[in-house]
Every structure is written in structure tokens, then in C-alpha cells.
Amino acid sequence: MANIEKAAVEDLLRTFIDPNNGTDLVSAKSLKAITIDGTDVSVKLELGYPSKSYLDELKAAVEQHLKTLAGVGSVSVDVTVKIISHAVQQALKPQPNIKNIIAVASGKGGVGKSTTAVNLALALAAEGANVGILDADIYGPSIPTMLGLSGYPASVDNKTMTPKVAYNVQTMSIGYLVEAEQAMIWRGPMATNALQQLLRDTNWVDVDYLIIDLPPGTGDIQLTLAQQIPVSGAIIVTTPQDIALLDAQRGLRMFEKVNVPVLGLVENMSMHICSACGHEEAIFGEGGGVAMAEVNKIDFLGALPLDINIRRQADSGRPTVVADPDSRSAQIYKEIARKTAAKLALKAKDFSTRFPTIVVQNT
């Protein structure tokens, strides 16, 4: 029996599309090694995104795909994950101890952006990443409530803060530093300085992804984030409602102007499911998110239902991904998390740490 050729295996893997990034395994640089022993084939794959709940499925699917090769004997597939740092805006360097910063934005309030950001962070952690979340909504911080956290963060040196941790996610928010009922009556420069301090003065520990939950709109904080904070990518959250989509479009344009890649769009409250009878109704319209993604040539990451349990769980301090991990909503959050990280993994890598810092001095 003739031996299997490496080229034939590689060509076959070019026809296997990873559903998380929409790209074949070879083009995505996921294929790391092919070993052939007569007719037996072993393949090593390395994903650039966390995917704990998907690895077994991928392994089985690739093995099945390889078995279609004529004359193949036994097939073995090994899949590992390696998360690296990706490029940020020009003239900025990645934040120490943080590989990637992902901004979660919306053009207007009330679209469920913070709920999405928290569940996205928890989903990335559930998929195997080391995750942090920074609450950048200085005027209306909601992350502490959603994660059941309160009280001042600890400090070991009276200069920097230790992030508060919930469900294996590191967190920081202005909400830990002020009383819950205190109004933050600050002008833009004070709010943007607070954001930079929260990021810079927190002792983040080996974070793969720091999710930044932005306030709604395209104001001072968004501009500071885009110009002074090293962001690897952004996600836009909207509802199918026309007015929400118009505002989401403005947010999208802002990131384009400052060269922050938009990884995709999440449509929240896409369908109301009656908790009594199960009837589905598109209260805010339908198809708007998909249409916006197509027009702007960005990825549609997923759609979430208008589900009373998502709201109840977030309000209780145990968001959906941890409160009901086997629910359909939790599975959608994990799918969105995998797609977000997989799309980022296709972006340019960060090479700044490979070059030494050059210092000119008189001798």
C-alpha cells in the first residue's frame, strides 16, 4: 500500500474551515505538524484562542475529515491552545501583564452592553483563558453589582491596587472606590484620568484578555481609550432596533478612524421568548444586526434573546455563564467568546517585546 503524502494531508486540511474564525486550518496557521508513518497520519494543531468546550468536537471533526483521505490508515489529532499578544494602535505598546485588551462598546445606553461584557469575560475564562474586566463606565459603574463584589480593593504598597476577583475573573471598577449612591459629577478630563489610573495602577496578573466595558456613546472616555490605551480589538453591542443600530454605526466609525479593528457585532435582545408559553416575538425588529454587519463587512458574532433569566442572574451577582452554564444563553455567550478570540488570533501579532529598548546616553 502506498505511503500517504504530507502535501495531500495539508491540502485536505485546507478544506476544513474552523467555524470560530471562518478560516481553514492552514491559512489560520493552526497546523503545526504532520507526521506520517506509512499510511498512519498524526496531526498537531495549535489554536490561538481559548476553546476548552470545543476542543473535543474539533479533534473528532478533524479526525473524521482526515479519514476521507484515500488509503489512510489510523488517524490521530492533537490540539493545544496558545494565546499570544496582538498588535495595538501605532505608537502604543501593550500594557504590562496584559496580552490583549478588548473594548466592548455601544452607541447608546440600554442595549445590555455591560451584561454582554461580563458574560463575555466569564465565557472566555470558562473556555480556559486568564481574564480581567475593567469597568470604564466612571459615571455609572455596574460591574461590581453584576459580579456580587463590593468594598475597597486591597493595596500592598499604598500605591497600586489588587484586582478584586469573582469567578476566576480579575476586576477593577470606580464602583469599588466610591459609595454606591455617590454621584460622579466629574468633567471629562477627570473621568479619563480615572480610567487611566484604574488600568495603570491595578496589579493585573498575567491577563490573556482584559475586557473593557465602555460607557455608551463616543465621548471623552472612548476617545482616550482609542488614543492612549493599547487596544487589540473592539466589539459593538446593539439591539435590532433602528435607533440602536444608527448609534452603533457611529461607534463603529469611531474605531475605524483610530485604527482599532472591530472584531464583530453582537445583537442583544434579538428575540423575546415568553417565559410562560415559549412564544417568540421580535419586539425590537429583526435582522438589523446581521444587515449592519454585512454592510460594514464585519463579523456577526451572535444574537442573544431578551430573556428574563439573563437580567435576573446579572442583578443577583451571578451572571448567566456561571449561574446556568448549560443553558442555551450561556452556550451563545461561549460561542461569541470563542469567535471574538478566534477573530483576534487572525490579527497581526505584537512584536514590540522582541526588540530591545534603545537608550542614548553620554559616556
State yes or no: 109 annotated in a binding site: yes
CB-based contact 345:308 (threshold 8 Å): no
CB-based contact 264:294 (threshold 8 Å): no
State yes or no: 113 annotated in a binding site: yes
Q: How far apart are CA 20 and CA 72, in angstroms?
A: 27
Buried b (16+ CB within 10 A) or exposed e, 155-182: eeeeeebebbebbebbbbbbbbbeeeee
CB-based contact 165:222 (threshold 8 Å): no
How far from 86 is each of 45, 99, 105, 359, CA to CA, in Å?
Answer: 20, 7, 20, 25
State yes or no: 112 annotated in a binding site: yes
State yes or no: 111 annotated in a binding site: yes
- Which residue, among 145, 232, 229, 218, has the nearest Cα to 181 in the 3D structure? 145
Q: How far apart are CA 292 and CA 295, in angstroms?
A: 5
Q: How far apart are CA 68 and CA 170, in angstroms?
A: 45
Q: Other C-beta atoms within 10 Å of 347: how many?
A: 15
State yes or no: 93 annotated in a binding site: no
Binding site, residues? Answer: 107-114
Binding site for ATP, residues? Answer: 107-114
